[in-house]
Structure 1
Amino acid sequence: MENKLLRKMIRNCFIQYQHDLESVPMSEEDYIRMTAEITEILQKEGDSDVFEVVNDVVYEYLSQ
């Protein structure tokens, strides 16, 4: 999946969790790590819903 699309989906998920564009608590390294994790999960579990995987990864990030 394209990296730009995943980044946009991650950002939109943060917005759903009551953040705005300026308050998204992500560094460039966080984006790289999260997109890599999402891509890995999607490759392992080919039938997974992309939106669910992104939501799960963002929720895990926020709950740390």
Structure 2
Amino acid sequence: MDKKFIFKMIQNCFKQYYAKSENLPLSKDDYEELYERIVLIKEQQPEAELHEIINDSVYEFITG
């Protein structure tokens, strides 16, 4: 999967939660962790929509 595309989707998803903040609460390591989690889930569930996987992963990341 295209890493830049997934990073952009992660950023857009975070903007839903942090609309007023220009700086998103993510480090490079956080992006990598989310990316790896998303790729793993997509491999395990190939029928799942990428958009849904990203939304679920970001929500889980935020809520801990």
Say whether the fold is shared (TM-score over 0.5): yes
Taking the TM superposition and a 5 Å limit, the aligned residue runs for 1:1-64 are: 1-19=1-19, 22-64=22-64
**Residue 21 of structure 1: how far off its partner (Å):** 6.6
- Structure 1 runs of 4+ aligned residues shifted over 2 Å read 18-23
**Residue 18 of structure 1: how far off its partner (Å):** 3.0
CA distance in 2, matches of 1:53, 1:59: 10
Which residue identity lines up with residue 55 of structure 2 in the other structure?
Answer: N
Q: Is the 8 A contact 2:34 2:57 kept in 1?
A: yes
Secondary structure at 2:8 match in 1: helix
Residue identity over aligned pairs, in percent, reads 36
What's the TM-score once normalised by structure 1's chain length? Answer: 0.91
Deviations 1:15-47 (A, max 9, x none): 111335732100000000100100000011000
Task: Give aligned pairs, total.
Answer: 64
CA distance in 1, matches of 2:21, 2:51: 19
Structure 1, gaps ≥5 residues long: none
